[in-house]
């Protein structure tokens, strides 16, 4: 049985109620236009689909597992002249455990603005216990289409509730920490969002238990229960004082960086950069996302680099980024350090020859490059196949031997500065790293090389075969409760040592 409880930011100013989009996906949308009697907000201009089927019994848009990967898409067209801000969005869906579908943004010309906003919604909903997300439209003014994209596996989407919300204003960290202890209250039965959800579940013939009274809600920490069909995902657990809430309640940093969560108490002393650095966490090729809090994400990595004094951005935030051109020398020249922290879930875009050349030239001119094999599929070597063309110009390759256990400096040599002072670090999976002189062995696991570093021209390169050590699962025990304080401390120190070494001789661009 899955559960539901929703947390949404509350407005202070007295304003008119925004138009709520209560969408029930059925055959009325087969021709791409709404039938008579269907009421939509002014900011929605149409709904259509490709590769799937609308049904009336139950009301849903479905894509079977038999279709080709990436075939199905459900598109919500927006009038951005009437919708300038963000949308809080709750999806009601049923999916197999192995199903993968994503949320994308497109512009009016059909070009991709954001390839993947949240990662696999099935995995994210389970990891966060939420199916409510903030779609950051204010950040992408050219986006006019929200696309629910089927990747693989069977999925049935019954409906969605879209609710315009205001972006949070500036807040200091102390106030954010106070607010964290106050978030997580379930919605009142009188709240229109609850009624919208119940309307959809009723019309889609998805049975739902009643929302408890305010008195009952206050007396328990259990989430509201919704009886869903087998293998359904429709959940949003109440938050606790250890986090800033689920995706619908997370507050963004005032600098446009990743969401701010309370720092775990085991975080070691921060090792600041000697000067201001601009750091890119590359995600335009399907890399792990610095905005997501799932165990394979890079949100905590971004926070640590920010705490060191770095200005951290994703490729999707980068000034002048054009998806049709990819990584260019002009784009990379804005940054002193670039991090590829593994792929995520196989949704990757191969590197072009021009991108590989741009990265190589940027490093030789003084850039600091970190590339890791870090996805949950690292042991099947897909990461190695994906990243090896990028690091081949530096004489380093990811190998084919699986790594498990604890990493440490090679016993046969003096510790490299990256691992100096560390008793070791923890990984969850990885592959070996192969290279010859002048590449230096930095760390090994089970007798196999796990990390190699090399100076290239004015720049530096690190290839790390066990990048799971730099993901949320190993850097913040309060995100997924998987890592001990010792693991968090050692792996955080490893990350800081890595970036300090990459930054030491970085030339001015």
Overall domain count for the chain: 2
Same domain, 387 and 437: yes
CA distance 505 to 507: 6
**Structural tokens at position 27:** 């055959």
CATH classification of the domain holding 447: 3.40.50.880
Same domain, 477 and 340: yes
Query: In this structure, is residue 1 part of a structural domain?
Result: no
Number of other residues whose CB lies within 10 A of the CB of residue 346: 17
Same domain, 329 and 450: yes
Three-class secondary structure of residue 143 per DSSP: strand
CB 454 within 8 Å of CB 364: no
Residue tagged 């590339």 (tokens)? 371
Residue tagged 């119940």 (tokens)? 198
Query: In this structure, is residue 70 part of a structural domain?
Result: yes
CA distance 492 to 498: 10
Query: In this structure, is residue 509 part of a structural domain?
Result: no
Same domain, 294 and 422: yes
DSSP characters for 290-346? TT--STT--HHHHHHHHHTTEEEEEGGGSTT--TTT-S-HHHHTT-SEEEEE-B-TT
Say yes or no to pLDDT of 187 above 60. Answer: no
CA distance 294 to 124: 6
Which of 70-84, 85-99, 276-290, 378-392 has the largest mean confidence?
Answer: 70-84
Same domain, 285 and 202: no
Mind listing the pLDDT tens digit for each residue in 386-439?
899 999 999 999 988 888 878 888 877 889 999 988 888 888 778 899 998 888
Which residues does 388 contact at the CB level (< 8 Å), separation at least 6?
397, 398
Question: Is the previous residue joined to 124 through a cis bond, with omega within 30 degrees of 0?
Answer: no
Query: In this structure, is residue 261 part of a structural domain?
Result: no
CA distance 397 to 381: 12
Same domain, 178 and 62: yes
473: nearest Cα among 430, 418, 422, 413: 430
Mind listing the pLDDT tens digit for each residue in 212-248?
433 333 333 232 222 222 322 222 222 222 222 222 2
Query: In this structure, is residue 266 part of a structural domain?
Result: no
The DSSP 8-state label assigned to residue 166 in this structure reads P
The arithmetic mean of pLDDT across residues 284-310, rounded, is 81
Same domain, 200 and 304: no
Which residues does 156 contact at the CB level (< 8 Å), separation at least 6?
58, 60, 61, 62, 93, 94, 95
CA distance 155 to 72: 10
Q: Which long-range contacts (CB under 8 A, 24 or more apart) does 392-396 make?
A: 393/356, 393/360, 394/360, 394/363, 394/439, 394/454, 394/456, 394/461, 394/463, 395/435, 395/436, 395/438, 395/439, 395/454, 396/433, 396/434, 396/435, 396/439, 396/452, 396/454, 396/461, 396/463
Same domain, 199 and 70: yes
The arithmetic mean of pLDDT across residues 495-500, rounded, is 94
Same domain, 204 and 313: no
CA distance 444 to 413: 12
488: nearest Cα among 509, 470, 501, 504: 470
pLDDT the model gives residue 395: 93
Q: Which residues pair with 47 in a beta bridge?
A: 76
Helix (H) or strand (E) holding 200: helix 192-203
249 or 201, which is more confident:
201
In order of 71, 186, 455, the CA distances from 438 in angstroms are 46, 58, 8
Same domain, 372 and 477: yes
CB crowding 430-441: b at 16 or more within 10 Å, else e: bbbbbbeeebbb
Mind listing the pLDDT tens digit for each residue in 29-44?
887 654 445 778 999 9
Q: Give percent of the chain with pLDDT exceeding 70.
A: 67
Same domain, 134 and 69: yes
Query: In this structure, is residue 9 part of a structural domain?
Result: no
Which of 244, 268, 299 finishes a domain?
244
Say yes or no to pLDDT of 203 above 60. Answer: no
Say yes or no to pLDDT of 28 above 60. Answer: yes
CA distance 498 to 509: 20
Give the phi and the psi of residue 62 in degrees, each rounded to 5.
-125, 145
* Cα 362 from chain centroid (whole Å): 26
CB 143 within 8 Å of CB 80: yes
The arithmetic mean of pLDDT across residues 342-348, rounded, is 61
Query: In this structure, is residue 298 part of a structural domain?
Result: yes
The pTM assigned to this predicted structure is 0.52
Mind listing the pLDDT tens digit for each residue in 103-159?
889 989 888 888 777 776 776 666 544 567 788 898 888 999 999 988 888 888 988
Give the phi and the psi of residue 391 in degrees, each rounded to 5.
-100, -5
Query: In this structure, is residue 8 part of a structural domain?
Result: no
Which of 225, 244, 263 finishes a domain?
244
The arithmetic mean of pLDDT across residues 344-356, rounded, is 78
CB 140 within 8 Å of CB 83: no
455 burial level (CB within 10 Å; 0-12, 13-18, 19+): middle
Q: What is the span of the domain harbouring residue 218?
A: 17-244
**Structural tokens at position 434:** 């192969």
CA distance 28 to 42: 18
Report the mean per-residue pLDDT for the chain. 73
Helix (H) or strand (E) holding 112: strand 112-114
Same domain, 236 and 364: no
Which of 188, 221, 244 finishes a domain?
244
């Amino acid at each position: 049985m899955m559960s539901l409880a929703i947390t949404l930011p509350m407005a202070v100013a007295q304003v008119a109620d925004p138009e709520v989009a209560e969408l029930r996906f059925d055959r009325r949308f087969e021709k791409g236009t709404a039938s008579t009697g269907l009421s939509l907000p002014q900011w929605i201009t149409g709904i259509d689909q490709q590769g799937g089927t609308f049904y009336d019994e139950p009301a849903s848009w479905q894509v079977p597992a038999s279709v080709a990967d990436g075939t199905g898409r459900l598109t919500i067209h927006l009038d951005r002249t009437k919708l300038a801000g963000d949308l809080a969005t709750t999806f009601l869906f049923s999916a197999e455990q192995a199903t993968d579908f994503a949320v994308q943004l497109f512009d009016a010309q059909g070009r991709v603005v954001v390839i993947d906003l949240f990662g696999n919604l099935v995995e994210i909903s389970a990891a966060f216990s939420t199916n409510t997300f903030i779609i950051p439209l204010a950040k992408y003014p050219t986006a006019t289409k929200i696309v629910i994209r089927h990747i693989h596996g069977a999925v049935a989407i019954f409906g969605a509730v879209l609710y315009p919300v205001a972006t949070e204003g500036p807040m200091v960290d102390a106030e954010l920490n106070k607010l964290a202890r106050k978030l997580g209250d379930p919605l009142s039965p009188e709240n229109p969002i609850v009624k919208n959800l119940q309307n959809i579940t009723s019309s889609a013939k998805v049975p739902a238990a009643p929302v408890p009274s305010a008195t009952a809600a206050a007396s328990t920490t259990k989430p509201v229960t919704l009886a869903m069909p087998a293998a359904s995902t429709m959940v949003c657990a109440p938050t606790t004082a250890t986090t800033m809430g689920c995706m619908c309640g997370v507050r963004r940093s005032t600098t446009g960086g990743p969401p701010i969560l309370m720092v775990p108490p085991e975080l070691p002393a921060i090792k600041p950069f000697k000067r201001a650095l601009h750091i890119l966490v590359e995600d335009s090729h399907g890399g792990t996302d610095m905005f997501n809090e799932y165990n394979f994400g890079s949100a905590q990595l971004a926070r640590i680099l920010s705490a060191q004094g770095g200005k951290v951005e994703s490729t999707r935030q980068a000034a002048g980024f054009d998806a049709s051109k990819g990584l260019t020398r002009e784009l990379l020249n804005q940054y002193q350090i670039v991090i590829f922290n593994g792929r995520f879930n196989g949704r990757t875009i191969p590197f072009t020859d021009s991108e590989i050349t741009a990265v190589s030239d940027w490093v030789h001119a003084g850039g600091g490059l970190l590339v890791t094999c870090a996805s949950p599929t690292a042991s099947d070597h897909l990461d190695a196949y994906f990243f090896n063309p990028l690091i081949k110009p530096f004489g380093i390759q990811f190998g084919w031997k699986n790594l498990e256990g604890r990493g440490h400096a090679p016993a046969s040599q003096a510790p490299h500065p990256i691992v100096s002072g560390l008793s070791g670090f923890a990984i969850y999976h990885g592959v070996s790293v192969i290279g010859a002189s002048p590449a230096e062995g930095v760390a090994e696991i089970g007798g196999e090389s796990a990390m190699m570093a090399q100076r290239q021209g004015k720049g530096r390169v690190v290839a790390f075969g066990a990048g799971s050590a730099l993901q949320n699962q190993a850097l913040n025990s309060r995100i997924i409760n998987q890592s001990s304080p010792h693991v968090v401390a050692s792996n955080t120190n490893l990350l800081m040592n890595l970036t300090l070494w990459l930054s030491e001789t970085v030339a001015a661009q």
